């Protein structure tokens, strides 16, 4: 897949929709002369290629020489972006504000200062309405420059208001920067490590969080400050496995958009991510009814024009909805139905290969393996787990650890007892090295390493195993073992001679009767 999308121009052209390609052809013919004929030929050739291959490119365009190619590609890349900007300005507030600022600068440079100020005033109103304070700073900066250097007949009150607004926005942006940095770095910690593994991790995260929170939290107001504050609390709670706090702040995150629906079209990506976080919170807390309600609302949103405006939105909505659907089957025990989704998920991942990051592939491999494990298709589960085990371990050490654990359980279920001991030792060494070993896993390893002589001994061993881990379900540092791998339900299925879907399904039905 990496070779297929190795060239940036090739990536850009293959990301274009039909309307965008048609607009580019009209744009390039209207704005360029005959000398740009090769640009169009290069565009068409790259558009028709399934994989980037320069040898094929030179065969398709015989008049093209190697020295020309690099310059032509650079020129075409810029023209495609210019065409996209022209086409998409009307439906993107950031592009609209940027255009207003560019026009004001052009007018000012022509000496038409009052015209420039009128455009800036209009743009400022638009920026305030959409809470685009970073752009507002640039607009105010140009306005102050004009007022300082020229006599514009503005009132003294007007200039004082201008100065006061610039000071207030500067403080606002400082808080937004501080909070967005905190959210970003907490997310980075999670991507590398996963959840807090022990008391030391908990202390580090708590100290880091408190040290980087703005001191003037009582001043936090406005959409972006609250958005990044709620995101920071979400990641802080999620890393610490405080799922109740995670739920509360995920709900606050989504509610921000519900109180001002206009912002769904302004910051669609943040809204999509917020709903994804809320779905995960319901999954972690087993809020079955709320989970179904939120997923239904998200699926309805996926059909709106806002959700389908850009490939980026469509891609992530598809990924998050499919992830939630899999989670729904995992927590309800409907593994057979979940397995039926696998082909559709893989087709979507292939369709969106240009946009899907490696972390998302890693998560889906684990979730799909979990479905097959629950459906007693252990060989299929092993296939997906091997994708994780044999891959790089620079992301999500916790998932790498639990993939190895599930792989171990698959071989136990398959009756491969001759390799179980050596495999258990290898997994144990890996988890110790990665500092990812909890009490639950230690108990599991002890169980798997014992050489039981008959079914009765195994049954007694399983009962002992279950009694030991049952008491750890409320321990926050042990919840990963239950969230990533429902080990309690697995042991219960063995003790009571039931399938995993029967055990989890019974728990789901019991919760519905409450």
CB–CB of 228/182 below 8 Å? yes
DSSP string of 231-254? HHHHHHHHHTT-HHHHHHHHHHHH
- Which band of pLDDT confidence, cut at 50, 70 and 90, is reported for residue 437? low
- CA geometry: angle 417, 419, 422, nearest 5 deg: 125
- Which band of pLDDT confidence, cut at 50, 70 and 90, is reported for residue 55? confident
Task: Extract the tokens encoding 115.
Answer: 């015209």
| Predicted local distance difference test score (pLDDT) of residue 1 | 34
Question: Which residues are within 8 A (CB) of 47 and not within 5 positions of it... i.e. 6 or more apart?
Answer: 13, 14, 21
Task: Extract the tokens encoding 114.
Answer: 């009052």
- Which band of pLDDT confidence, cut at 50, 70 and 90, is reported for residue 7? confident
Task: Extract the tokens encoding 232.
Answer: 């920071």
CA neighbours closer than 13 Å in the CB half-sphere of residue 33: 1
CA neighbours closer than 13 Å in the CB half-sphere of residue 457: 7
DSSP state of 150: S
Torsions phi, psi for 364 (to 5 deg):
-65, -40
% of the chain residues with pLDDT over 70: 89
Task: Extract the tokens encoding 172.
Answer: 């606002």
Residue 4 pLDDT > 60, yes or no? Answer: no
DSSP state of 435: T
Cα 492 from Cα 132, distance rounded (Å): 54
| Predicted local distance difference test score (pLDDT) of residue 460 | 77
Cα 299 from Cα 502, distance rounded (Å): 28
| Predicted local distance difference test score (pLDDT) of residue 62 | 85
Q: How high does pLDDT run on average in the chain?
A: 84
The whole-angstrom distance between residue 371's C-alpha and the CA centroid of its chain comes to 22
If you average pLDDT over residues 372-377, what whole number do you get?
94
- Which band of pLDDT confidence, cut at 50, 70 and 90, is reported for residue 3? very low
446-468 pLDDT, tens digit each: 777 665 555 566 677 778 878 87
87-124 pLDDT, tens digit each: 888 778 888 888 899 899 888 888 888 888 889 989 98
Residue 153 pLDDT > 60, yes or no? Answer: no
Of the ranges 3-7, 201-205, 261-265, 283-287, which one carries the lowest mean pLDDT score? 3-7
- Which band of pLDDT confidence, cut at 50, 70 and 90, is reported for residue 156? low
As a whole number of Å, the CA-based R_g of the chain is 28
DSSP state of 498: -
375-404 pLDDT, tens digit each: 999 999 999 999 999 887 776 777 888 888
| Predicted local distance difference test score (pLDDT) of residue 489 | 86
Nearest to 365 by CA among 312, 316, 326, 333: 326
If you average pLDDT over residues 16-43, what whole number do you get?
80
Question: Which residues are within 8 A (CB) of 321 and not within 5 positions of it... i.e. 6 or more apart?
Answer: 295, 298, 299, 302
């Amino acid at each position: 897949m990496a070779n297929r999308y190795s060239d940036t121009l090739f990536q850009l052209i293959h990301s274009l929709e039909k309307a965008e390609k048609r607009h580019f052809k009209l744009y390039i013919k209207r704005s360029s002369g005959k000398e740009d004929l090769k640009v169009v030929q290069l565009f068409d050739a790259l558009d028709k290629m399934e994989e980037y291959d320069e040898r094929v490119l030179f065969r398709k365009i015989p008049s093209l020489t190697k020295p020309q190619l690099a310059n032509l590609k650079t020129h075409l890349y810029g023209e495609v972006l210019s065409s996209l900007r022209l086409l998409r300005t009307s439906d993107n507030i950031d592009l609209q504000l940027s255009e207003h600022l560019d026009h004001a600068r052009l007018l000012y440079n022509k000496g038409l200062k009052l015209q420039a100020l009128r455009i800036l005033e209009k743009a400022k109103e638009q920026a305030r309405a959409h809470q685009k304070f970073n752009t507002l700073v640039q607009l105010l900066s140009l306005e102050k420059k004009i007022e300082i250097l020229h006599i514009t007949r503005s009132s003294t009150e007007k200039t004082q208001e201008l100065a006061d607004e610039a000071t207030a926005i500067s403080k606002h942006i400082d808080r937004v920067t501080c909070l967005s940095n905190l959210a970003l770095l907490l997310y980075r910690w999670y991507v590398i490590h996963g959840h807090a593994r022990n008391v030391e991790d908990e202390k580090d995260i708590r100290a880091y969080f408190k040290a980087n929170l703005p001191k003037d939290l009582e001043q936090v107001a406005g959409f972006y400050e609250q958005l990044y504050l709620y995101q920071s609390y979400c990641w802080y709670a999620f890393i610490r496995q405080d799922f109740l706090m995670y739920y509360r702040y995920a709900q606050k995150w989504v509610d921000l958009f519900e109180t001002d629906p206009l912002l769904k079209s302004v910051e669609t990506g943040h809204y999509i991510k917020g709903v994804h976080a809320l779905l995960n919170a319901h999954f972690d807390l087993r809020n079955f009814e709320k989970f179904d309600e939120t997923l239904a609302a998200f699926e309805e949103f996926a059909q709106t024009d806002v959700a389908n405006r850009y490939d980026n939105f469509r891609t992530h909505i598809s990924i998050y909805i499919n992830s939630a659907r899999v989670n729904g089957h995992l927590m309800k025990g409907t593994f057979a139905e979940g397995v039926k989704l696998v082909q559709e998920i893989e087709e979507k991942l292939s369709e969106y290969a240009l946009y899907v990051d490696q972390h998302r592939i890693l998560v889906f491999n684990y979730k799909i393996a979990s479905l097959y494990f629950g459906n007693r298709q252990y060989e299929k589960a092993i296939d997906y787990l091997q994708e994780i085990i044999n891959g790089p371990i620079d992301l999500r050490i916790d998932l790498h650890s639990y993939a190895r654990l599930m792989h171990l359980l698959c071989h136990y279920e398959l009756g491969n007892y001759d390799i179980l001991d050596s495999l258990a030792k290898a997994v144990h060494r890996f988890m110790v090295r990665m500092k990812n070993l909890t009490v639950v896993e230690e108990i599991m390893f002890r169980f798997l390493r014992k050489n039981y002589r008959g079914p009765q001994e195994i049954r007694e061993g399983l009962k002992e195993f279950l009694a030991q881990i049952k008491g750890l379900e409320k321990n926050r540092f042990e919840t990963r073992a239950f969230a990533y791998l429902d080990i309690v339900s697995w042991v219960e299925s063995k003790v009571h001679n039931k399938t995993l879907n029967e055990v989890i399904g019974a728990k789901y039905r019991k919760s519905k009767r409450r």
